[in-house]
Homo-oligomer: A and B are copies of this chain.
Amino acid sequence: MEKVSIGLGDRSYEIHIGSGLLSGSRVGPVPSSGTVAVVVTDKRVRPLYGASLLGALRDAYPHVHTVTLPDGEEHKNWQTLNLIFDALLTHGCDRKTVLYALGGGVIGDMTGFAAACYMRGIDFVQVPTTLLAQVDSSVGGKTAINHPLGKNMIGAFHQPRLVICDLSTLDTLPARELAAGIAEVIKYGPIADMELFAWLEANMDALLARDHAALAHVVKRSCEIKAAVVGADEREAGLRAILNFGHTFGHAIEAGMGYGEWLHGEGVAAGMVMAAELSRRLGLVDGDFVGRLRVLIARAGLPVRGPVLDARDNAGRYLELMRVDKKAEAGEIRFVLIDGPGRAVVRPAPDALVREVIDACCATA
């Protein structure tokens, strides 16, 4: 088993990475927990891994309950969140109850937000079962639900007590979701670690074949990089924004296509190419770098071109969507750009140049 320690003072925790962990003896109890654990999962994941985790938790806590939510981003809303609160209150759960989020990013986000709000904050443990959740939402403490007018608009920063990345759960992950997770792994190269990028160029086949040693390496390295960034900027005041490389364009793609059409990682993949191309046109990186990034993304089976969101004024539609992004300030879009391979910078860019990039990087251009 590999370990990554996240140092955040009294909110520090460990990420455990390995095969078969969720049925093991280290799932709990977490320090200062009470006697009750509640597993929050969804209808898709529960039949796959629910019994294993519940079995392990019953050895760690006298009382274990389960809440099974509907599956999918479209249920990441208040109504579904309230099913968690209903269950906690019906079972008389107190402030020492520990929630276990068993599932992908949606389950992690909702369970974390429920833990942040229930009685003004209880402990939770992340048991992410997708690559995306293991490399991205394991670190950072971001939790949220969607609002009809915007994704992840209602949420909190709330750190888990423990993250259990069981690589065995990735064996059953659909290929498209595996690729979407790899997009977030690729991201860490341009912004922080070109060694990881080169490793991915050499080992993409093993990763796509779900080799556990390869998966362990990328999960560990991704968590380490993200931890270093988040440790320096827990509340997203500045540096942390570089983790959104590819996300500004990516969020516009997700929103413009209707959530669920493009997976988050797919939007980020095409968005990284756009952000790299914008960096190139601003004179920050050369064409070779953009080419390497495009090739690696394509090898992962991910899209390298954005979709057309509006046949009449495609670039205008992208800009419109990017201006309402949470990261925008007073309508000014702040792009995460690559300021030389392995180094990111956050800055605005002229609309005209952004339009050129969108025109050059979209499907029918």
Q: Which residues of A contact B (CB under 8 A)?
A: 34-35, 78, 82, 85-86, 89-90, 92, 94-96, 116-121, 142-144, 147, 149-150, 153-157, 235-236, 324, 326, 328-331
* A119-B326, A149-B86 known; A92 vs B331 contact (CB < 8 Å): yes
List 14 other contacts, CB 8 Å, given A89-B153, A116-B156, A118-B153.
A34-B330, A78-B82, A85-B147, A94-B326, A94-B330, A95-B326, A96-B330, A117-B117, A117-B154, A117-B155, A119-B153, A120-B142, A120-B156, A120-B236
Q: Chain B CB within 10 Å — which of A85, A94, A120, A324 has the most?
A: A120
User: By the criterion CB–CB under 8 Å, are B34 and A154 in contact?
Assistant: no
- Check A153/B94 contact, CB under 8 A, given A78-B78, A235-B121: no
- Residue from A34, A90, A92, A331 with most neighbouring chain B CB atoms (10 Å): A92
Q: Pick 11 A–B contacts, CB within 8 A, sort by A.
A: A85-B153, A85-B154, A92-B324, A95-B329, A117-B154, A117-B156, A118-B153, A118-B154, A120-B143, A120-B144, A120-B236
User: Which secondary structure dominates where chain A touches chain B?
Assistant: mixed
Question: B residues within 8 A CB of A82?
Answer: 78, 147
CA distance A35 to B330 in the complex (A): 8
With the chains together, A119 CA to B143 CA distance in Å? 10
- Kindly report which residue of chain B lies nearest to residue A235, judged by CB atoms: B121
The minimal Cβ–Cβ distance linking A165 to chain B, given in whole angstroms, is 24
Contact across chains for A156 and B156 when beta carbons are under 8 A apart: yes
Contact B85 A157 (CB under 8 A): no
Q: Roughly how many angstroms separate A94 CA and B117 CA in the complex, as a whole number?
A: 22
Q: From residue A90, how far is it (CB to closest CB) to chain B in Å?
A: 7
Please tell me which one of the listed residues B92, B120, B157, B324 contacts residue A121 in the complex, with CB atoms under 8 A apart: B157
Q: Are A89 and B147 in contact (CB under 8 A)?
A: yes
Q: How far is the CA of A54 from the CA of B119 in the complex (A)?
A: 33
Q: Which one, B34, B117, B147, B330, contacts A329 given CB within 8 A?
A: B34
How close is A325's CB to chain B, nearest CB, in angstroms?
10
Are B156 and A329 closer than 8 Å at their CB atoms? no
List the 7 closest A-B pairs by CB distance, nearest first: A89-B149, A120-B155, A117-B154, A119-B326, A85-B147, A94-B329, A89-B150
CB-CB under 8 A from A86, the residues of chain B are 149
What CA separation (Å) do A324 and B92 show in the bound complex?
7
Which B residues lie within 8 Å of A331 (CB)?
A: 92
A108 and B331 CA atoms in complex are apart in Å by 29
The reply to whether A120 and B329 contact each other, CB–CB distance below 8 Å, is: no
Q: Which residues of B contact A144 (CB under 8 A)?
A: 120
Separation in Å of the A105 CB from the closest CB of chain B? Answer: 15
Smallest Cβ distance from A240 to chain B, in angstroms?
Answer: 12
Complex Cα distance A329/B97, Å?
Answer: 10
Q: How far is the CB of A118 from chain B (nearest CB, A)?
A: 7
Chain B residue at minimal CB-CB distance from A10: B235
Report Cα–Cα, A168/B83, bound state, in Å. 43
| Chain B: CB-nearest residue to A331 | B92
A303 to chain B, nearest CB (A): 28
